Amino acid sequence: MWYSITYPYQGFPREGVFVEVPHGASRRYVGYLLKQNGVVRSKLAFEIYARRHPKRTLQAGEYFFDHSMTGRDVFWKIANGQIFEQPFTVREGETMFEIAHELEAGKFMPGSDFLFAASDPSLIRDFAPDALTLEGFLFPATYELPRYPSGSELTAEMVHKFKEEWKHIEASESNGPTASNAQTSGESSSKGLSHSNGQASSRAPAAAENPRQRLQLVTLASLVERETPKPVERPLVASVFENRLHKRMRLQCDPTVIYAMERSGRYMGTLTGKDLSFESPYNTYEHGGLPPGPIGNPGEASLRAALHPAETSYLYFVANTQGGHFFSSTLAEHNKNVVKYRRLLAGLPADPPPPPPPPDAKKKQAKPVAHSQMQKQNKGKGR
């Protein structure tokens, strides 16, 4: 019996074996399962060893064994709940459609199962009563998934993670805006979040506590997230959208069009000029204000940027081919930046070389020669 517990054993195939420990299973039944699957030499030896540790419960879950182990190590693996898990990462800004595609591509679950669960906003009703789906609340992070995860379990974990992060942000808001935003803007915005009708809330913390305005904050954060990958730019992008909302200008945010087409299964990977007139309440070229809901799942930096946009007069931005953007306050400045962008795309310097200086008009006038000097020149020529 001592030999069965202390010496490694492998009675299963080289590729490994999964063993599911049910909830409430007895030590005897767990020993039986392990013996049946070739994980331990002796069911009885495992059971006796487990009884010597009555305060340690065998944790339910699915376990994976892929190498020889002693019966003692098998016991502690199950007692410590080292169940089989697979990491799955949701990147900042990803939509629920992109997440569903990656889940299916990674063979975690059918994408339709995830989309079905993500389309039900009941998990977020207490936080944002007007949310249409869970889009925006599936927090970007790495999740440890069992071999057969369900869409409902995964979305529940993602929403729980979002709420935890939001509480962390709210707690830090009591001490003022984050250092990163202060460095970007010089001071925090007192405007908070603009409503879709162009009016501003009094302060960002108040908006964060209002369930109706939370949806608008997360929606704004999702636009910021999709527009720039650079954390330092996010408060600037947020300020552009805030300023345009205050002036009742349409946001004209390309990612909203992409999302609208994605929802309809019409997006083919590139956006054309014709697509900008695609009819959808999410299309901010066609409709004023914010879209009716988030267009992706923002991370912490974008959520903070939506709470505290930088104090600027910017109304426009365009890519600079360096992963960032040129920002401007007027259409004339913006048009110049568009020219810079196109020059950079063509491999040229952002600014054209300065024109050559005009010729000096004085050089065209011949300097008169004195009479005495001319006589000397003539005498010289006659010699």
Range 199-229 burial, b when 16+ CB lie within 10 A, else e = ebbebbbebbeeeebbbbbbbbbbbbbbbbe
At a CB cut-off of 8 Å and minimum separation 6, what does 359 contact?
none
61: enclosing H helix or E strand: strand 61-65
Predicted confidence at residue 112, as pLDDT, reads 97
pLDDT range class, residue 182, cuts 50, 70, 90 = very low
Predicted confidence at residue 255, as pLDDT, reads 96
Which 8-state DSSP code applies to residue 179? H
What is the set of domains in the chain, with CATH numbers?
2-79 (3.30.1490.480), 96-251+288-314 (no CATH), 315-352 (3.30.160)
| Whole-number Å distance between alpha carbons of 214 and 262 | 24
Which among 222-231, 346-355, 374-383 has the top mean pLDDT?
Answer: 222-231
pTM score > 0.95 for this model?
no
Range 135-157 burial, b when 16+ CB lie within 10 A, else e = bbbbbbbebebeeebebeebbeb
Which 8-state DSSP code applies to residue 213? H
- Amino acid identity for residue 290 in this structure: L
DSSP string, 269-292: S---TGGGG---TT-TTTS-SS-S
Distances in Å between the Cα of 49 and the Cα atoms of 67, 72, 78, 81, 247 are 21, 7, 13, 17, 74
Rg from Cα positions in the chain: 33
Predicted confidence at residue 380, as pLDDT, reads 46
Beta bridge partners of 64: 18
